[in-house]
Chains A and B, each alone.
Chain A
Amino acid sequence: MSVKMLERIKILEQTVMMLRQMKTQIVFKREPITILLENIVNGENYNKLTYINDVIDKMNAGFDFFDAWKKSINTFIKISALRRDDEYLLISFASNFGQSDAQGQAAECDACINLLEMRIEALKSKAENGIKIYNMLGILSGIFIAIILF
């Protein structure tokens, strides 16, 4: 469980980084989504976000951005450590993408980043609690064995 949770945290952290990069390129360069996605695929920090390649392929095949994103996330959820509530969050981000000016778009990115960061924090504290419980269980088991032996 812990390994999967750590994997999930890594994916969410990379998603946050991706959104920050997208926001910067939207605000300063007004780059369209196709260029934003290509830059992410070419970046070194996004090895966990394999669904982006899928989005690009689908858009090249004629899908619009939202459909391509939704289908790719649906597939990615099945093979990755992400869960249904992550899927909902990522899809809702795409549903509003590209329909407003740069300021509006930056605000959308910020809103999604905030939600993801809250989720990451919660997962991290959950993981820490889990580690504490396991440590405690280990100590108690040690004490129990010691009592039996002596």
Chain B
Amino acid sequence: MNDVNEKGITEVMQYLPMRIQNVIVKMNSQYKSSIKEIRLRSNKPVVIVTEKGCAFLSVLGKISYIMSDNTVILSCDELSDTVKRICGFSLYAHQSEITDGFITLKGGHRVGICGTAVNENGKTISVKDINCINIRIAGEKQGCATEIISNIFTNGLSNIIIAGAPMSGKTTVLRELVRQISDGNAGEYYKCAVMDERCEIAAVNGTEFENNVGINTDVLSNYPKGKGVAQAVRTLSPDMIFCDETSSLDEVKDILNAIMCGVHFAVTVHADSLRDLYKRNVPSRLIGSGLFNYVVMLGTKTNIGKVERIIKVGEKDLENCGNSIACNDMYSFGKSDERKNA
């Protein structure tokens, strides 16, 4: 993982101001590989996020958890120059991404954008005065889905939900899961389709994939999830579809419709804990549909990208967590299983 992280830093460095590049070059590889995020704010210190928390970049090429005189302060012009570089000096090429608040760099690194929204008829058409960007270093982590494969996919495909807090490695695990299933690690070479709405999973560069998503995988990049899922089901006949960050009820509807067509799904959702799964609309709907078989909870902080728990839907502790909400508008697990069997 360290090598992968260092590769990520190298890929991201070309977009940073020369002064910051020079500081990062001075860093030893231990510091470099600990970087998870780089936060750039206009006229503010450069913040580096590591597993241990937020730290500051020092002009000496070190990471300090306390701000000092040596802390690198980013100027307004440097931020503006970085934004231009990230957009490839072509704002129009990232128009829709910018209005959604992010740009994906080569290698699948996601840049979150903060600024002032320009609205027209209630719709954001652009973002001006960008004052902060957050660069998240993406990384492939070979083997992080092996536990999922050996526990869930030994007897064929299943529908699974991968849940975790922000920065828990959901995308990394999903990418590795696609690779392993596509490469035949689940018993046969299943046809996989990836809905890469933010171009983070496969990190498409032209017609090439920068990340390894397996030998039998079709990638639909930049498609809205619903449209991509419908197209994949209609034209690609996938055995399994992989969706990152399912976040709206419309997407849930499209996914459930596709499952009814006989396609299997692996989806990721934001949820800090099992209880959180039920508090949030999207995961509770997915589980409540009775069509998903497993929930995989990921760890955080020092356990980023590691499987914390695998829960079969219908297990008692999962039911207990969802008890109060499940009554409202969804089948209880036992009943939904009965419904499926019937």
Give the shortest distance, in Å, between B96 (CB) and chain A (any CB).
9
Query: Which of A33, A34, A66, A101 meets B126, CB within 8 Å?
Result: A101
Contact B89 A65 (CB under 8 A): yes
Residue B254 at the chain A interface, CB threshold 8 Å: no
Query: Which of A26, A34, A100, A104 meets B88, CB within 8 Å?
Result: A34
- Point out the residues of chain A lying under 8 angstroms from B93, CB to CB: 30-32
Given A62-B18, A64-B81, do A98 and B87 touch, yes or no (CB 8 Å)? Answer: yes
Chain B interface helix/strand/loop/mixed? helix
Given A64-B84, A98-B84, A102-B95, do A32 and B126 touch, yes or no (CB 8 Å)? Answer: no
- Point out the residues of chain B lying under 8 angstroms from A14, CB to CB: none
Give the shortest distance, in Å, between A134 (CB) and chain B (any CB).
46
CA distance A32 to B87 in the complex (A): 8
Given A62-B18, A98-B90, A101-B126, do A30 and B95 touch, yes or no (CB 8 Å)? Answer: yes
Query: Which of A34, A64, A66, A98 meets B92, CB within 8 Å?
Result: A98
Contact A102 B92 (CB under 8 A): yes
The number of chain B residues touching the other chain, given as a range, is 10 to 19
Interface 1/0 per residue, A129-145 and B, CB below 8 Å = 00000000000000000
- Point out the residues of chain B lying under 8 angstroms from A62, CB to CB: 18
CA distance A87 to B90 in the complex (A): 22
Residue B85 at the chain A interface, CB threshold 8 Å: yes
The number of chain A residues touching the other chain, given as a range, is 10 to 19
CA distance A99 to B95 in the complex (A): 10
Give the shortest distance, in Å, between B119 (CB) and chain A (any CB).
15
Residue of B with least CB distance to A103: B92
Residue A80 at the chain B interface, CB threshold 8 Å: no
Residue A88 at the chain B interface, CB threshold 8 Å: no
Residue B67 at the chain A interface, CB threshold 8 Å: no
Query: Which of B18, B81, B89 meets A33, CB within 8 Å?
Result: B89
Interface 1/0 per residue, A72-111 and B, CB below 8 Å = 0000000000000000000000000111111011000000
Counting chain A CB atoms within 10 Å of each CB, the highest count among B81, B88, B90 belongs to B90
Give the shortest distance, in Å, between A70 (CB) and chain B (any CB).
13
Contact B89 A64 (CB under 8 A): yes
Interface 1/0 per residue, A5-19 and B, CB below 8 Å = 000000000000000
- Point out the residues of chain A lying under 8 angstroms from B92, CB to CB: 26, 30, 98, 100-102, 104-105
Cβ contacts A to B, 29 pairs, < 8 Å: A26-B92, A30-B93, A30-B95, A31-B90, A32-B87, A32-B88, A32-B89, A32-B90, A32-B93, A33-B88, A33-B89, A33-B90, A34-B88, A34-B89, A64-B84, A64-B89, A65-B84, A65-B89, A66-B89, A97-B89, A97-B90, A98-B87, A98-B88, A98-B90, A98-B91, A101-B91, A101-B95, A101-B125, A105-B92
Give the 8 A-B residue pairs with the shortest CB-CB distance, closest first. A32-B88, A65-B89, A32-B90, A32-B93, A102-B92, A98-B89, A98-B90, A30-B93
